[in-house]
Chain A
Amino acid sequence: MTVGRNAASITLLTASGAVDAIQRGELGAAELFEAYRAAAAGDQLNAYLWVADDAPAPVPEGAPLAGVPLAVKDLFCTEGVPSQAGSKILEGYRPPYTASVVAELAAAGAPLLGKTNQDEFAMGSSNENSAFGPVLNPWDRTRVPGGSSGGSAAAVAAGSAPWAIGTDTGGSIRQPAALCGIVGLKPTYGTASRYGMIAFASSLDQAGPLTRDVTDAALLLRHMVARDERDATSIGFPGTIELPRAESLKGIRLGVPEELSGESDVGIEAGVLDAFNATLTLAESLGATIETCHLPHAPHALSAYYVLAPAEASSNLARYDGVRYGARVEDGGLVGMYTKTRSQGFGREVKRRIMLGTYSLSSGYYDAYYGRAQRVRTKIADDFRTAFESFDFVVTPTAPSVAFELGAKTADPLAMYLNDYCTVPMSLAGIPAISIPNGLSEGLPTGFQLCGPAFSENRVLEAAYALEQAIGFDAAGGRTDV
């Protein structure tokens, strides 16, 4: 420990700030790790399911991330460390290998700080579907942090992790980032490897950063994107992810889709809309032009998503059968073992989606549901392509509401699904989207979403950075270390 400096102040540094400090010799990586390790171990938000016991192996000289520790969502396989996807059916499961993205980040100098809590198998928008208890929002502990990457978001917002990775299938990075007042980015589908990510919906799942600011998101993303031999759907990123510097939005055309912005009957809270509109005004002052755009099929995105994602999930989760790993409940026979193991091992929301998915793939229903949903998906992707002919970015509020109270939406699955209304279209289209905190509504953070064409991450980051600087969001309300 450096004499005269307490742990609290070094955790105030952003991840990039810490990287700089370590590279300048002002801070030791081991010291930083220990400060965060202690903070994570002392977490009261139930954000962590596992925290490192010891210091990691020393980071190689010149590693670009300099040893700044990383919180990792539970569903990323980490060799020898519990990787449970928030589920009882994998309770205590320790994989024999590490997810490609986690290995890449560790090699770049971001060692594993802890595994964060999440909605079970990434299914949820509040982290109330975890088999290991809900996560509390650091801004207000009677409220949810969002989901499914609720633990990662809460940890970063609270300051017990400098940065984190999560996964986003229909909004599971962006929405919790918005509810927790931090930055969350879902990159273009295929840029980050899915190998080692316990799968929910294969054609939608993407790993991405949850960070305190846009610069940290860019830095982390830079070391997450790469083509991976082990993932046939991975193409990597053409070029490098740059650290953003833009101060102006001059010449930038922002499109506000009427279907997703509150003019339609979407149920976006007034406070969220106010913050959104304030950000639009700010954007104009930075030189952007704002116009209405149209995504005519966007109102069907949620329905299409809740056919496609559960369908893929019903197949991806078939392997949890008690035969080779995870929980097993014996029943004297095969079918009994399958039934008991899965009935007891899966939570209600997971079971609901498996059943939905099985139904929509079943004989006689495939064309009406799965087939149709795929066609709607293509239409949505086309809508964005058309919009991007006239606009640089499409912008929306990230989530329809601020953080809601624990238990407020658990009785009604549809009410819970509506949390994804504004984020799902970008997932279906496979395009990059970022959420940045843009204000408070009744003391709780709101999020602003900005998305661009496939592989436009650098431009998205620049625009987000410029706005972030102008917004000047104060994240202190979420921090537990100030």
Chain B
Amino acid sequence: MTSEFEPVIGLEIHVQLSTRTKMFCGCALSFGEPPNTLTCPVCLGLPGTLPRANAQAIHYGLMIGLALGSDLAPRSIFHRKNYFYPDLPKGYQISQYDEPLCRGGSLGDVRIHRVHLEEDAAKLIHAGSSGRIHGSDASVVDFNRGGTPLMEIVTEPDIPSPEAARATANHLKDILRAIGVSEADMEKGQLRCDANVSIRNPDGSFGTKTELKNMNSFRFVERGINAEIARQEALLRAGGQVVQETLHFDPQTERITSLRSKEEAHDYRYFPEPDLVPVATSAQMLAAARAAMPELPAAREQRLQSLGVSAASARQLAWRTELGDYFEAALAGDGAEPQPLANWVCNELVARVGEDDPNASKVTPDALAKLVALVGRKAVTVGNAKLVLDRLVAEGGDPAAIVAAEGLGAMAGGDEALEPIV
């Protein structure tokens, strides 16, 4: 990218909440069940049915607002967003419009515009070679997904680059997982990302923005935005103008294609949902949301650093919740110093357990703490300690016992000068 063009990026992220039931009915959420097996008259939009708001979804929404430092509205209402499509059984989506659950807040350096609740559409499957609507003979609808609670998080156009966009989306995913409101797995469609992309005008005002829809991996978010910025730059360099439109990025071909132009933009005819009463966020609801909040990663990172953990280790432990939990459990045991322990957790342990939850492995936090303490007292060399750790991972047990049984103890007063301390 040349520096003459300043990209301006905002993200609209839809997150599926991991509630027990759907947003407006009692159907369970779907995890790959056979089609149309998790439906009821309400989420099928049968005549005469009415929605009921899911209290847990609202609770999770408040938690997300707290995590982002947003203002939580004392009163918010649902609106109907009206349009026709086969994945929308009622012919409208129940969403929120000008009175959302949360306003403002931030995600790192990126300001949040608003956060609101809505229901997911059903899943359309197009029978054809590409799986996309163009060139398919028929489409079928699976209503299992329809009605799943969604949180829509809209940022301000504060994001300066595709890399930053990817990092922002990742940051959100980590927070959502940390507070436990969503698995936020993009591959499972639990987190969906749209981007608004424009190039700033020479006078500093906003250029025309385009909307890039449904990029379904963090990598594609970055590449898609990159491709769109390149396209806009080329257009502007050639003396053309950016047209407001909705676009699709094909990760295979890296091509950007138009989905619809401004002229075809929907008028959603928003009006307040008359079948639901306003959400009055009470003091009890706020207290419950606060009480349910775990320590957020950023706060944990700072706290670990204040304990003497290095910045790099603190970041790693804070942003991988289970690892941080493991570390703190080990620290609570006796003997190990924070930074050496953090070092062993972040490097040696992670090397052996990979992406798996270390708390589920055979080496208990207490055992690792004891091992690191042994190294600290020079009762065992680093090299031998790694062997002991291998044993612990394989079979569990007590480090001192393994050291004794296998004769891995350091020579008294001997080799400390020989082994580099990691």
A: which residues have CB within 8 A of B? 75-77, 83, 85, 90, 93, 95-97, 99, 194-199, 202-203, 229-233, 311-312, 314-315, 317-321, 323-325, 334, 338, 358, 361-363, 366, 370
Contact = CB atoms under 8 A, between A and B. Distances in A.
A318 B84 contact: yes
Nearest to B24: A232
A478 B46 CA distance: 37
Given A202-B274, A232-B277, A195 B48 contact: yes
Interface stretch (B49-57, B181-189, B231-239): B49-57
A232 B275 CA distance: 7
B274 A195 contact: no
Given A97-B41, A198-B48, A325-B46, A311 B89 contact: no
A371 to B, nearest CB: 9
Contact of B90 (A76, A198, A318): A318
Contact of A231 (B50, B53, B82, B84): B50
Contacts of A358: 269
B47 A195 contact: no
B45 interface: yes
Nearest to A234: B50
Given A77-B47, A319-B47, A361-B269, A203 B52 contact: no
Contacts, number: 99
Given A312-B274, A361-B269, A324 B47 contact: no
A231 B356 CA distance: 45
A362 B41 contact: no
A199 B274 CA distance: 11
B138 to A, nearest CB: 11
A95 B47 contact: yes
Nearest to B267: A363
Contacts of B270: 361, 366
Q: Which of B52, B91, B277 gathers most chain A CB within 10 Å?
A: B91
Interface of B: 41, 44-53, 80, 82, 84, 86, 89-92, 141, 267, 269-271, 274-277
Given A315-B80, A318-B84, A362-B269, A232 B89 contact: no
B44 A324 contact: yes
Contacts of B275: 202, 231-233
Given A233-B274, A338-B84, A363-B269, A99 B48 contact: yes
Contacts of B45: 319, 324
Given A318-B82, A319-B89, A338-B84, A230 B269 contact: no
Contacts of B91: 315, 317-319, 321
A95 B46 contact: yes
Given A315-B91, A324-B46, 13 more contacts: A85-B47, A195-B48, A198-B47, A230-B52, A232-B50, A233-B275, A312-B271, A315-B80, A324-B44, A325-B46, A362-B269, A366-B270, A366-B271
A197 B52 contact: no
Nearest to A121: B47
Q: Which of B52, B80, B269 gathers most chain A CB within 10 Å?
A: B269
B51 A315 contact: no
Q: Which of A95, A231, A319, A321 gathers most chain B CB within 10 Å?
A: A319
A311 B274 CA distance: 11
Contact of A93 (B47, B52, B86): B47
A77 B48 contact: yes
A197 B49 CA distance: 8
Contact of B49 (A90, A195, A229): A195
Q: Which of B49, B82, B267 gathers most chain A CB within 10 Å?
A: B49
B272 to A, nearest CB: 9
A203 B50 CA distance: 12
Nearest to B82: A315
B41 A96 contact: yes
B52 A229 contact: yes
Nearest to B276: A232
B267 A362 contact: yes
B50 A230 contact: yes
A368 B146 CA distance: 34
Contacts of B82: 314-315, 318, 361
Contacts of A320: 47
A165 to B, nearest CB: 14
Contacts of A363: 267, 269
